[in-house]
Every structure is written in structure tokens, then in C-alpha cells.
Structure 1
Amino acid sequence: MRRRRNNHAMYFVVGVGLVFLLMYLFSTFIMGAERKAKSVVADYYHYESAQDYSRSWELLHTEMKTKFGRGAFASDRVHVFNGHFGAETFSYEVSKANKLKNWKMEKDGESFGTAYEFEVRQDYHGKYGHFAFVQFVYVVEEDGEWRILWDYKK
């Protein structure tokens, strides 16, 4: 007599493998963009909190870099945050991403197909006490890299 092979175990293993493959593809291609965008924001504020303004400037989108040259940007940041606020460093929290379609940095500016909006809360302790600063940050892809923009619409 010939015995029939039980293929249920093989179907189960293949099914579980397909589920894991689909989860991997989803997290890499769909959720991966959001994760990468948030990582850029975290890197930016890490550099800012360490007063490494030259490196934080590198993470800005070209549109932002045209508003601020590297030297002027670093000088302004030191002047405002360290000089006026009297804060040597700060801690920060980055919100979950809010995906936006056709977002614009300026009212009549370029439209970005996909942008991720983050709310960043910065906590400072300086000579004037403890205070918090909230900034909305937008991240778009530029030449294969995720870059930071701010909202200048009025």
C-alpha cells in the first residue's frame, strides 16, 4: 500500500513564509520611507542639541539652504539658542509622522508629492529657567535623500 504524504505542514510553512515576506516588503517599501524621514529629523535635532550646526545644516533641503548659508545658519543658531536663551543643550521629542500629499513650503512654492510632517518639542534649561519650544518639521525626498524643510506659508 502506498501512503499519502501529508502536505499540510508544507503548505503551512510556505504560507507563514509568504506572510513574513509580505510584512518585510510592506515595512521596507511602505513604512520604510516614514521611518527614514523620522530618522533624519532625529539626526537633525541630535546635531542641534550637540551644537553641531554645520552637520544639522547638511540635512536641510536645498530650498532651505538657499535661505541660510552654512555660516549664517550656524551663527544664528548659536546666537539665538545659546546666546539669548542661555541654553547649552536641550532634549527633544519627535511625534509620529503625518503623511501629506502635495505639500508646499511657501504659498506659491514648489509642490512636493509626498511630505512627512513631524511636531518636535524641544525642552531647554537655561539661565531663564525651563521652557519648551515646538516646531513643525517637514521631510521630503530630494535626489534619493530625505531632507528637512520648514513651513513659510502665511
Structure 2
Amino acid sequence: MRKSFLFMLFFTFSVILTGCNFFEEQKAKSIIKDYYQAIIDEEYEKAFEQVHLYDVDSKTGDGHFTDGTTLSYEEAKVFYLEKINILKEQNYKLEDFKIEEVEYEDGHSFWHHIKLMVDQDGQKFEWNEVAEIYEGKLVIGEKDDPNAIYRDGRMKFEIEELKGN
């Protein structure tokens, strides 16, 4: 009887813990899919709504996503769309994406590994990046894609300085 009770207690706690992460993972996948699909469909205002915005220092590149942005909503949207225009000038087209895996750090914190299929000026590239959710918005990190800065949530840097890259 005691073994049955302990087994049931262990099983219940396992289901509860797994269930909590399961729903958070599904919510994150939904946000990730909405963002990348919006980029594919060139619905950039929709993509803007999915990303977490944060300032970076133009000179040092420093800035952390937890600090947020000092720009107003409208200023941030204008800046984001300016960044997107650079992608368009470079004939950058996200063609497809795939969520490869979910990685857990401590049993609770997690991020998704994403593979991107990009066409840029007729050349095909496969890039990898990770994405996590912070305060209900997407944070894109550890990127291979050198143009990711033009579609992620980083704000307040000198766009002109990066155009040649």
C-alpha cells in the first residue's frame, strides 16, 4: 500500500511538472511560428508584434534584453521597419524555418533551436539560431545569420554603420 501511494505521489508530481513545461513550450512554439511565418509572408508589422525590444549601445554593442527599450512603441516600430528595409535592399528572403529541438537549462528555463533557410541575392543559406520567450515576446539569440540584427528586437543602434556588413 505504501509503495503504491509513493508511486502515485511521484507520478502525480511528474505529470504536474511536465505539464507546466509542456504548456509553456507550446506557447513559445506558437510565438516562434507566428514570428518566422510573418517574416516569410513579409508581414513585418505582425513580426514586430512578436519580438521583445531592447536597446543596444551603438559604440560597444552592449545591451541586454532584460533592460528593454527606451523608445516609444511608435518609435520602435519605425526603427524596426527601417531595419527590415535593409533586408529588402539586400534581397534577403526567409524561405522556411524548422524548430529543431528544445533545450532545457535547469528543468524550467528553455529555448528553441531553429534552422533557417534563407535566400539572399540568389544564394541559399542555412542559418541556426536560438529563440526564447521573455515577458511573452520572442528573443532571438546566438545567431549564425549575419543579417538577424535587421529582424530581431535590438533597438537604438546606428543602422548606417552596419549596412556595409
2:57 corresponding residue in structure 1: none
User: In structure 1, how many angstroms separate the alpha carbons of the residues matched to 2:79 and 2:19?
Assistant: 37
Residue 139 (structure 1) aligned with residue 133 (structure 2) = yes
CA contact (8 A) 1:118 1:136 kept: yes
Residue 122 (structure 1) aligned with residue 116 (structure 2) = yes
2:139 corresponding residue in structure 1: 149
User: In structure 1, how many angstroms separate the alpha carbons of the residues matched to 2:139 and 2:131?
Assistant: 6
Q: CA deviation at 1:119?
A: 1.9
CA contact (8 A) 2:129 2:141 kept: no
Q: Secondary structure at the match of 2:81?
A: helix
Q: Secondary structure at the match of 2:101?
A: coil
1:14 corresponding residue in structure 2: none
User: In structure 2, how many angstroms separate the alpha carbons of the residues matched to 1:30 and 1:71?
Assistant: 35
1:88-144 deviations in Å (ceiling 9; x for gaps): 44111112221335xxxxxxxxxxxx543122221123433211222221213x2xx
2:58 corresponding residue in structure 1: none
1:25-54 deviations in Å (ceiling 9; x for gaps): 666533111111111111110111111111
Larger radius of gyration: 1
Q: CA deviation at 1:59?
A: 1.3
User: In structure 1, how many angstroms separate the alpha carbons of the residues matched to 2:97 and 2:70?
Assistant: 24
Residue 92 (structure 1) aligned with residue 97 (structure 2) = yes
User: In structure 2, how many angstroms separate the alpha carbons of the residues matched to 1:61 and 1:98?
Assistant: 20
Q: Secondary structure at the match of 2:126?
A: strand
CA contact (8 A) 1:92 1:120 kept: yes
Q: Which runs of 5+ in 2 are unaligned?
A: 1-11, 55-64, 143-165
Mapping of 1:1-16 within 5 angstroms?
none
Q: 1:75 aligns with which of 74, 82, 87?
A: 82
Residue 48 (structure 1) aligned with residue 39 (structure 2) = yes
Q: Which runs of 5+ in 1 are unaligned?
A: 1-20, 102-113
CA contact (8 A) 2:101 2:114 kept: no
User: In structure 1, how many angstroms separate the alpha carbons of the residues matched to 2:80 and 2:109?
Assistant: 23
User: In structure 2, how many angstroms separate the alpha carbons of the residues matched to 1:100 and 1:119?
Assistant: 13
- Whichever residue aligns with residue 83 of structure 2, its letter is D
CA contact (8 A) 1:120 1:135 kept: yes
CA contact (8 A) 2:94 2:116 kept: no
Q: 1:57 aligns with which of 45, 48, 57?
A: 48
* Aligned length in residues: 115
Tell me which protein shows more strand as a share of its residues: 1
